[in-house]
Each structure stands twice: as C-alpha cells, then as structure tokens.
Homo-oligomer: A and B are copies of this chain.
Amino acid sequence: MQSRTPASRTGRPRSVAADAAILAATRAALVELGCSKLTLGDVATRAGVAKTTLYRRWAGKNELVVDAVAELFDELRLPDRGSLAADIEGVVLQFAAILARPEAKSGLMAVVAESTRDEALRERIRTSIVDRQKRLVLEGRARAQARGELPPETDPAESARTVDLIFDVVAGAVVHRTLVSAEPADEEWVRSFTRVLLLGLTPQP
C-alpha cells in the first residue's frame, strides 16, 4: 500500500494490523477534525501506535490521507443494469454516496489541492484513486458498444480522449455538486444529469 517490500526477507515484519488501525484512525480523525486540523500525533494515539511508526511508513500527512481515503473507493462496482443510462445512474449514485461521507469530502479535496504543487502526490492519487474510477468508464463504454448504444471505436487516440472527457465530466459534476454546491447528488439529480449527458442540452426532434 504505502511502500513496497522489495527485499526484506529477514527481520521483524511490519504489523499489517497496525496498517489497518492507522488508516482507520486516520479516517476517524478526518471525520472529527478535518484534514487541516489532523495531526499525525493524534492519529498515532487513536491507532494505538507510536508516532515514530507513522513517520517510518509514510512520508507525511498527505500520503497517509491518500491511502486512508483510497480504501473508501474499493467498493465501487459497475453492475450490469441493462442499459447505458441505468449503468451510469448506478455508478454515479455509488460515487456520490462515497463522496457524501465526511472523511472523503474533507480528505480528498485537501490532498487534491496539495497535489497541484507535488507531482509525486498527484501520481499517488492517480494510481490509487483516479485510475480505479476511470476503469469503470472504460467498462461501461465497452458494454454500451456491445449493446449497440454507442458506436464502436475507430481511432484509438480519439477514443482515449473521449474517455478522459467523459470521466472529467462525470466525476467533476458529482464532486462539484457535492462539495461546492453542497447539495446531495440524489436519485433525482442523477437522473437529470444522465439525461443531459446522453441527450445534451438542446432537445432533439
């Protein structure tokens, strides 16, 4: 998770239970204090480990929060609901449910803000959070193409750009709705959003 274990066959192994306790304590601290007022000393106390153990495993607060928040997105799935619209609505509702949790709100945006000045942190966010979400877009499009709801891809480069565009639109809309507008992305909103995404603003004859 937080660091590779390439060649350390000997010696006392790192406690995996401590890892889970630390990440859970981090989420609890995010809920109670938020990301800015979260201190590593407090997390260590909550997790029942020494503060030095935290610094031995993570480079700093940002990396710790990324790993703690990333686990929230493990539950994201894309069940086949029979149509592109239903698939979109289903996965967007799941994404919204995760973002509605206070530890995700406070933690995720804070580390994204930090990542604008930290290339390594942005890469960590990308591999452990963003790419996992983007895979759902790829999967959903493949299903829609198999159903004939979307045309098959022609140019692979153009196809990749489209996937990136869709991903930014979907994830960005949900994030903006939840965090900036601070209103719930409930079923009614998701239905309206899906309709606009599939059919566009201008009504078709």
Chain A residues packing against B (C-beta within 8 Å)? 34-36, 84, 102, 105-106, 108-110, 112-117, 122, 125, 130, 149-151, 161-162, 164-169, 171-177, 179-183, 189, 192-193, 196-204
Contacts and interface: CB of A to CB of B under 8 A. Distances in A.
B113 A113 contact: yes
B182 A122 contact: yes
Q: Chain copies in the assembly?
A: 2
Nearest to A141: B201
B176 A116 contact: no
B198 A201 contact: yes
Nearest to A32: B117
A112 B111 CA distance: 12
B196 A199 contact: no
The 7 closest A-B pairs by CB, nearest first: A172-B176, A172-B172, A200-B200, A109-B113, A110-B113, A105-B116, A199-B200
Contacts of A168: 173, 176-177, 180-181
29 contacts: A34-B117, A84-B201, A102-B116, A105-B113, A106-B113, A106-B116, A106-B117, A108-B113, A109-B112, A110-B114, A115-B182, A150-B202, A151-B203, A164-B183, A165-B189, A165-B193, A166-B201, A168-B176, A172-B177, A173-B173, A175-B175, A196-B197, A196-B200, A197-B200, A197-B201, A198-B202, A199-B202, A200-B200, A204-B204
A16 B117 CA distance: 32
